[in-house]
Amino acid sequence: SLEATVSGKMASTMLRASLAPVKLKDVPLLPSLDYEKLKKDLILGSDRLKAFLLQALRWRLTTSHPGEQRETVLQAYISNDLLDCYSHNQRSVLQLLHSKSDVVRQYMARLINAFASLAEGRLYLAQNTKVLRMLEGRLKEEDKDIITRENVLGALQKFSLRRPLQTAMIQDGLIFWLVDVLKDPDCLSDYTLEYSVALLMNLCLRSTG
């Protein structure tokens, strides 16, 4: 019948439409930043300014569109050595992990964790073992801000996906620290428990662990 023919055509049209590749709208590139001024403000600015900038930098990365836009943001951060991973200066952006401000430490840990969530970000952070050492130190010393500790732990768990960093963490005795922390799981947040177990498993899977 005519009705059946029309319905059949409509169904086939809908099927073809559902199978057709979706054309994504062109994702605009984000405006470039003055990284020299940014890093200067992160080192010399007030704690309020530092926290604001760290949060904005993290949001720029995490809210960017997955794909070219996010890769462009990350590559800009890396090529401008945003976190001073290649710097040998005493005063560097990385030192914000040891800031006296709880908020600055937390936002710095969040930004590092965001970097560590991406393969290229992990590669950048792994270029210098001082990043790993600073994170390990912060993990063991942080007793004021649980969110800072969680983000440091999250970053270390992602670091443990890289074999050289696994080796370094094992040599630094991180397994013993994790075992000690996990003795009383009821006192841990769900995030801390999950990532502590995941990190411990990654390290123990190695023969040296």
Query: Structural domain boundaries of the chain?
Result: 29-204
Residue 3 has pLDDT above 70, yes or no: no
Q: Which residue would you say has higher pLDDT here, 13 or 57?
A: 57
| Buried-state track 122-151, b at ≥16 Cβ within 10 A, e below 16 | bebbbebeebbebbbebbeebeeeebbbbb
Q: Is 32 helix (H, G, I), strand (E, B) or coil?
A: coil
Residue 115 has pLDDT above 90, yes or no: yes
- The topology (CATH level 3) of 29-204 is Leucine-rich Repeat Variant (1.25.10)
pTM of the model: 0.83
Q: Is 62 helix (H, G, I), strand (E, B) or coil?
A: helix
Q: Is 190 exposed, middle or buried (0-12, 13-18, 19+ CB in 10 A)?
A: exposed
Q: Which residue's structure tokens are 């964790």?
A: 113
pLDDT of residue 6: 43
